[in-house]
Amino acid sequence: MDTKHSNTLSIIDQLGRKHDYLRISLTERCNLRCFYCMPEEGVQLREKSVFMTSKEVLDIAKIFVDLGITKIRLTGGEPLIKKDVGKIIEELGKLPIELAITTNAVNVDQFIYILKAAGVKSINVSLDSLISDRFNAISRRGYFDRIMTNIELLLHHDFDVKINVVVIKGTNEDEIIDFINWTKHTNVNIRFIEFMPFNGNNWDWDKKVSYQEIMHQVDQKYGVEGYQKIQDAENDTSRNYKLKGSEGTFGIISSVTNPFCDSCNRIRLTADGKIKNCLFSQEESDLLSAHRNKEDLEPIIRSAITSKHPERGGNVAFKDFTTKDIKNRSMITIGG
């Protein structure tokens, strides 16, 4: 698939950051209930009419591609429970972009050949524990074995599989080394993600496990000669490493303690058609209503990105945060 875009237009903010990566949330619904993502009471159910239809997803995506987007990642909720998701994947696969998806892998076996036919190569799987009972407690569901089987299926079909692990103190930080050991003989990329503050997830500063704390465990286990730093991709959110002689890799996404905002190229489109210029931004712009009113979306998109804050959506340093300061959506209604 040709991922080069011939259009010379670009979406650039006031700091000169070029935005060519769009993350589209297809749904706020999910077949898991992970406590850091979904509030315990769930999210308010809304009329179907407030969400993008499959056609509107495609229409708006094409507008972004015309403005220079070269990569689209589908997220949720859980994107693979969206009605007509197969058709969405098929149609997006025809665009001159790199297409990727983030999933919990519960249903991914049903879409293997659709994903391959659309040219999807990179699949991110959310998996916060390698211990069955613990994972099922975190996710409030019982799909651990099914997910692990589907990860093996993805690897069998030669997908580039990244495993996203949200590390939370007192929950799963004791599994960091187990996850890294998985990379010794398996070509997976483990990505440890710091616990981030969102509405309803009971975040606090003391629950985070920082980049420094993770690397301390790595140093203690393997020694400085046992692993190596590897080249990070352009605009990569993680700092990446590899055990000597391993098949896979591991990395750390330190959004809380050491953000990567200076190289951010991401735009987020929520399932209800709002553009967010930052995961932590409290400001949103309504593209869906404008699209339904047949308005030109380009000025709205450019204005939203131009107003992007230098870092963290304009929030104060998170160490000064309390739950009362979190005015963002819950994670599941943003799309990651």
Integer Cα distance of 232 and 199 in angstroms = 31
For the entire predicted model, the pTM comes to 0.88
The beta strand positions in 42-82, using DSSP E, are 71-75
Give the N- to C-terminal CA distance of the chain in Å, as an integer.
Answer: 26
Q: What is the DSSP letter of 243?
A: E
pLDDT bucket at 39, cuts 50 / 70 / 90: low
pLDDT bucket at 293, cuts 50 / 70 / 90: very high
Integer Cα distance of 298 and 159 in angstroms = 34
Q: Are 121 and 129 in contact (CB under 8 A)?
A: no
The tens digit of pLDDT for each residue in 314-324 reads 455 555 555 55
pLDDT bucket at 307, cuts 50 / 70 / 90: confident
Integer Cα distance of 317 and 56 in angstroms = 37
Q: Which domains does the chain have, with CATH numbers?
A: 11-333 (3.20.20.70)
- CA 167 to mean position of chain CA atoms: 15
For residues 283 and 134, which has the higher predicted lDDT (pLDDT)?
134
Residue 283 confidence (pLDDT)? 82
Q: Are 204 and 142 in contact (CB under 8 A)?
A: no
Residue 239 confidence (pLDDT)? 92
- Residue at token pair 């850091």: 36
Q: Are 164 and 255 in contact (CB under 8 A)?
A: no
Can you read off the two tokens belonging to residue 329?
């959506």
The tens digit of pLDDT for each residue in 86-106 reads 999 999 999 999 999 999 999
| Strand bridging mode 239-243 / 227-229 | antiparallel
Backbone angles phi, psi at 243, to 5 degrees: -65, 145
**Residues forming a β-bridge with 240:** 251
Mean pLDDT lowest for which of 21-35, 163-177, 191-205?
A: 191-205
- Element holding 274 (H helix, E strand): strand 274-276
pLDDT greater than 60 at residue 200: no
pLDDT bucket at 282, cuts 50 / 70 / 90: confident
Count of C-beta atoms within a 10 Å radius of residue 231: 7
pLDDT bucket at 197, cuts 50 / 70 / 90: low
Integer Cα distance of 92 and 294 in angstroms = 22
Integer Cα distance of 167 and 172 in angstroms = 6
Residue 235 confidence (pLDDT)? 78
Please confirm whether the linkage preceding 77 is cis (ω < 30° from 0): yes
C-alpha torsion sign, points 10, 238, 27, 1: positive
C-alpha torsion sign, points 64, 68, 74, 76: negative
Count of C-beta atoms within a 10 Å radius of residue 260: 16
Q: 69, 331, 77, 327: which is closest to 193 by C-alpha? A: 331
Angle ∠(53,58,63) on CA atoms, nearest 5: 125
